[in-house]
Structure 1
Amino acid sequence: MDVAVIGAGIAGIGMGAQLTRAGRDDFLIFERADDVGGTWRDNSYPGVACDIPSRLYSYSFRPPRRWSRRFAPGAEILDYLRETAHAEGLEPHLRLGEPLTSARWDDENGCWRLATPRGAYSARALIMAAGRLSEPKTPAVPGLDTFPGRAFHSARWDHASLAGLRVGVVGTGASAVQLAPEVAAAAASVTVFQRTPAWVLPRGDRAFAPGEPQPDRAELSAEAERLFDARITGSTELAALRDRALAHLDSQVADPALRAALTPDYELGCKRAVFSDDYFAALQQSNVTLEPSALSSVEGATAVAASGARYDLDVLVFATGFETTRPPFARLVTGRDGESLAAHWSDGMTSHASTVVHGFPNLFVLDGPNAALGHHSAFEVIEAQLDYVLGALDHLDATDAPLEVTAEAESAYSAEIDRLAAGTVWVQGGCSSWYRDESSGHLTLLWPAPVAEFRERYGVFDPAPFSRAAPAAAQA
């Protein structure tokens, strides 16, 4: 085939749609699960929803008919992605239930050799659209194997009833804040293990009334873009946002001891801020206990906190995030010199234009290094990357020579990311987060500038940073 796409989530479906719209029909989309949807397929926990305004959370080239709420429920987003795949005619291109097991660059023939459990394939270009929220991360808790009850990650939700059960929720990030109030409404008791308190901003969610006009996308986008100024250390915008979060906490939590336990000691935005109208209220219910320390160990049915407190539980829910800085798919991809993508990224993910990597010709990574946003919708960068890839494919057609970005271009881009990130809360905010690489400390997940700048600079393919390799036929 001409193009192989790995993953059928937001990026993979978007890539397939744009390939089809560009008249490129020689492609396959490999998806390890039996359905499309990516993170919105995998995360079905109670309360799951978008924390970006719904109107911004869709492809600009395919707006939904309408959303039901200001912040769309997860099932509604999944339906939208399924509908998009069908409407864009992607079914013949989908290989569901067929995971990639390896991808190796064949330099002699100028193509990628792919393997799956069903067979072998070759493709001129390989597009990794596996995402960064696809591999659940569960901490290695001593004694967890002795726990007699149900234990599962929030992205692998066990839908059996929680009625009458004692539930422990491990974590206080975005997923935990959404699911904890729902679990508290069903379970006999809930213990929330908080290693680090989160900054919580009011959500302001509500249902749209029948016939109510949907919010203007351009206005919402401009509002979101202005939020970048609140990610700059020392800015007045950051101070105003911090005041808003503290006012929300003060108005919701009257008990000074509980309020102190819920007050972060790092700057707002350093970790992912969360949005909720009911999390603080849930923590004050009579059947809910906030344990202000991490889960330390498990002794049979007893969960032991780092503080020494002990809790007898029937269910353990790990809302502990995902493997983000070390994506597992990188172990499957081997480049021109026999180096795996995981080895290339051993000191942190690097790229040029957040999309191409030196040593890996004709490889394009979507939603990978520095391609996430800390202030806007994920669709914004992904769509810019789709345009970049289409331009690169056109260039491949014209030159018939593999495209490999130079080491110098990749190094210069990494230096530019460091420069842009230096004054942000993600670097100076006084916390450790999944935005930064645990080994190098570099910001490797986020684009640290307004998204308009990314679109302008990297939403159009530029062949200048690429080496001039001879066509494969000439090499042979």
Structure 2
Amino acid sequence: MTSTINQSVSTGKGGRPTPHVRVAIIGTGFSGLGVAIRLLQNKVKDFVLLERAGEVGGTWRDNTYPGCACDVASVLYSYSFAQKSDWNSTYGTRQELFDYLKDVADRHGVRPYVKFDHEVLAAKWDENLRRWHIRTSQGDYTAQVLVAGSGYLSDPVIPDVPGIEDFQGKIMHSSQWDHSYELDGRNVAVIGTGASAIQFVPAIQPKVGHLDLYQRSAPWVGPKPDKQIKGVHGWALKRVPGYRAFRRGWNKNGREILAFLFKRPPLAEKTIQGMAQRHLAKSVPDAELRAKLTPDFAVACKRLLFSNKWYPAIQQDNVEIIGGEITKVTQNGIVGSDGRERAVDAIILGTGFLATKRPIAEKLSGRGGVKLADAWEAGGMKAYRGTTVAGFPNLFLMLGPNTTLGHSSQTVMIEAQIAYVVDAVKTLAKRGLSSVEVGADAQEAYNKEIESLLDGSVWDAKTCTSWYTDSTGRNPSIWPANTRKFTRGTKKFDLDAYQVATLAGAETHADVKA
């Protein structure tokens, strides 16, 4: 379907022109910065990055809890086009990754395009002008293309536990760590045993007086082969041409084996689950405690974790592991499923993020004023190639539905999406188009393929319930195949899957570069 429209300059308060850009990008984590860099490399300079914080970095800026680090090797958890040769160890710490992103933003000239302290409050598609009208905390913008790069690990889950608002002590989520609060000698409760908890618990355990660890279900934990990068390996990363690319490829291909295994649960149980069971048996000699720490679900149904410090920390005398549901929180402590109230000075929430209810979706309104959150509530959280959504022209979601990886580096998916988005921006200009909107049929067919790929895998919602699944029992999170398949599908913008509108007249662009 093709239509022709005229575009004019919109006005803001006081009749002043609203700054207009070709592309507006929300967020400056790996997704947002990556899109910006690739736009610049393709000679597209008419864009802006809208960042709610005062610095770039996304999740690696926001998460500052003790022990915060990546569980994917840094040679792979980084941009292929901006490799770093001086990582301190195999797995980057939070500070290293934060510094890396700041350095990349500077070296690639992205920082002048960032509008800091600009929280996006709402964005609405203007059907007459065929552009996005974006309202921020610092003023309005319009854009032909809107890229939502705020990710899915940006808004924390606060558990709905009776009485939690009555607690008189300190409560903090791991992603909102209060470093001014001293934990030394205090009685502390930790709720949750996920990816964050297995990092901060070993870091705080030696300091606290006592630690109550509340777990509904134990996680599968494998050994983390973290080593200092030095000697010949360190020298080669810095000096030998092609060595970094070789190491990246080696790591990436090795992880693709996991995708093969996770599609075949019996094989995954024999290999990966067996590895985790051996790590548990070697680390925890007490049979009763080992039973408490053995998960009741298949490996990778929930995120597979890696740590050499978790099991030693939670076996210390000042740690108690408490299973089951929390009954309530009182003014002074927590009542567990055993009915006992345990007094604590502080509660730390390691309860993860809103992965299947994206807060950004509440702020995005597409054709007919329909909110993305409402569209997903009615029809399920779905997108085409994890990136575009029927009814939302010129909107591109980074790390959208079914792009989460359970086996490899999320940056691989991000780079694949970046290629797709940048090619879409170029296609709009080359073809003289004002808008592109994925067809509902194409989106539905794509999601049926996703369902077929999930069927029978370790992530199959029929046999696995986790934070990957939504309230309907569907898995809108995981990419259930190897990354090569996704990369092939997003290498070029497939215009045939889209409805388009042509651009009749020239646009006037306001300069938003700082």
Of 221, 224, 231, which residue of structure 2 is paired with 1:200? 221
* TM-score (ref. length: structure 1): 0.97
Tell me the percent identity.
37
Query: Please, which runs of 5 or more residues in structure 1 have no aligned partner?
Result: none
Higher relative contact order (CA 8 A, sep 6+): 2
1:59 aligns with 2:79: yes
Letter in 2 for 1:147: F
Q: 1 CA distance for matches of 2:265 and 2:416?
A: 30
Where 2:206 maps in the other structure, the secondary structure is helix
Deviation at 1:348, TM superposition (A): 2.6
Contact residue 268 and residue 299 of structure 2 kept, 8 A: no
| 1:324-381 per-position Cα deviation (integer Å, ceiling 9, x unaligned) | 1110111111111211111111143111111111111111001111112110100101
Contact residue 458 and residue 464 of structure 2 kept, 8 A: no
Contact residue 70 and residue 205 of structure 1 kept, 8 A: yes
Match of 1:257 in 2: 288
1:433 aligns with 2:466: yes
| 1:405-445 per-position Cα deviation (integer Å, ceiling 9, x unaligned) | 10001111110110111021111684321212222x22211
1:293 aligns with 2:300: no
1:228 aligns with 2:249: no
What are the residue-to-residue correspondences of 1:25-174 with 2, within 5 Å? 25-159=45-179, 160-174=181-195
Match of 2:509 in 1: none
* TM-score (ref. length: structure 2): 0.90
Deviation at 1:458, TM superposition (A): 1.8
Where 1:282 maps in the other structure, the secondary structure is helix
| 1:136-156 per-position Cα deviation (integer Å, ceiling 9, x unaligned) | 001022112221211000000
Contact residue 110 and residue 472 of structure 1 kept, 8 A: no
1:217 aligns with 2:248: yes
Contact residue 270 and residue 429 of structure 1 kept, 8 A: no
1:423 aligns with 2:443: no
| 1:25-57 per-position Cα deviation (integer Å, ceiling 9, x unaligned) | 110000111111111111111111001111111
Deviation at 1:237, TM superposition (A): 4.2
Runs of 4+ in 1 over 6 A off after TM superposition: none
User: Bigger CA drift: 203-212 or 326-335?
Assistant: 203-212
Match of 2:17 in 1: none
What are the residue-to-residue correspondences of 1:323-362 with 2, within 5 Å? 323-346=354-377, 347-362=379-394
Where 2:123 maps in the other structure, the secondary structure is strand
Deviation at 1:307, TM superposition (A): 2.5
Letter in 2 for 1:355: T
1:382 aligns with 2:419: no
Q: 1 CA distance for matches of 2:268 and 2:138?
A: 53
Contact residue 50 and residue 71 of structure 1 kept, 8 A: yes
Contact residue 132 and residue 367 of structure 1 kept, 8 A: yes
Letter in 1 for 2:92: A
Deviation at 1:321, TM superposition (A): 0.4
Deviation at 1:303, TM superposition (A): 1.0
In 2 relative to 1, CA 428–360 (structure 1 residues): closer, same or farther, beyond 3 Å? closer
In 2 relative to 1, CA 73–429 (structure 1 residues): closer, same or farther, beyond 3 Å? farther
Letter in 2 for 1:359: G
Match of 2:11 in 1: none
Letter in 1 for 2:59: T
Where 1:152 maps in the other structure, the secondary structure is strand
Match of 2:18 in 1: none
What are the residue-to-residue correspondences of 1:385-464 with 2, within 5 Å? 385-401=417-433, 402-427=435-460, 430-439=463-472, 441-464=473-496
Query: Please, which runs of 5 or more residues in structure 2 have no aligned partner?
Result: 1-20, 238-243, 507-514
Contact residue 144 and residue 298 of structure 1 kept, 8 A: yes
Deviation at 1:472, TM superposition (A): 6.2
Contact residue 256 and residue 408 of structure 2 kept, 8 A: yes
Q: 2 CA distance for matches of 1:96 and 1:238?
A: 47
Where 1:464 maps in the other structure, the secondary structure is helix
| 1:387-406 per-position Cα deviation (integer Å, ceiling 9, x unaligned) | 10111111100223210110
Where 1:337 maps in the other structure, the secondary structure is helix
Contact residue 11 and residue 129 of structure 1 kept, 8 A: yes
Deviation at 1:310, TM superposition (A): 2.3
In 2 relative to 1, CA 326–456 (structure 1 residues): closer, same or farther, beyond 3 Å? same
Contact residue 107 and residue 472 of structure 1 kept, 8 A: no
Where 2:196 maps in the other structure, the secondary structure is helix
| 1:242-263 per-position Cα deviation (integer Å, ceiling 9, x unaligned) | 1111111111111111111111
Of 342, 345, 356, which residue of structure 2 is paired with 1:311? 342
Q: 2 CA distance for matches of 1:22 and 1:358?
A: 27
Deviation at 1:313, TM superposition (A): 0.5
Of 172, 175, 181, which residue of structure 1 is paired with 2:202? 181
| Number of residue pairs aligned between Structure 1 and Structure 2 | 473
Where 1:387 maps in the other structure, the secondary structure is helix
Match of 1:4 in 2: 24
